[in-house]
Amino acid sequence: MLLEQTGSKIYGKAEFQHPGGSIKDRAAVGIFLDAEEKGRIKHGRTVVEGTAGNADIGLAHVFRAKGYKCVIFMPNTQSQEKIDLLSMLGAEV
């Protein structure tokens, strides 16, 4: 055990266990909370995101959980599975 060998507790982060399976999920929560706190987004309005990475999945999770409408714009090169997942999360793709 590493504790016995080093005398220190060693911790690891399992980012893959976030709801969207990505480190970007935590960033999405931060982006959302910052925008909401500063009044940049308000209930009843639609949030629009343009992305080709994993941030869109994290944002779709957060917006759905918080009751916001979400529209995602992405390149045509994205997989149908990703489009289906975003749609399942309530985003308009």
Catalytic residue list contains 24: yes
Distance in angstroms (rounded) separating the CA atoms of residues 51 and 67: 21
From the candidates 24, 38, 66, 69, give the one annotated as an active-site residue: 24
Q: Could you give phi then psi for residue 83, rounded to 5 degrees?
A: -60, -45
- Which residues contact residue 73 at a Cβ distance below 8 angstroms, ignoring those fewer than 6 apart? 48, 49, 50, 51
Residue 57 sits at the vertex; the CA angle it makes with 56 and 61, to the nearest 5 degrees, is 115
Q: Provide the annotated active-site residues.
A: 24
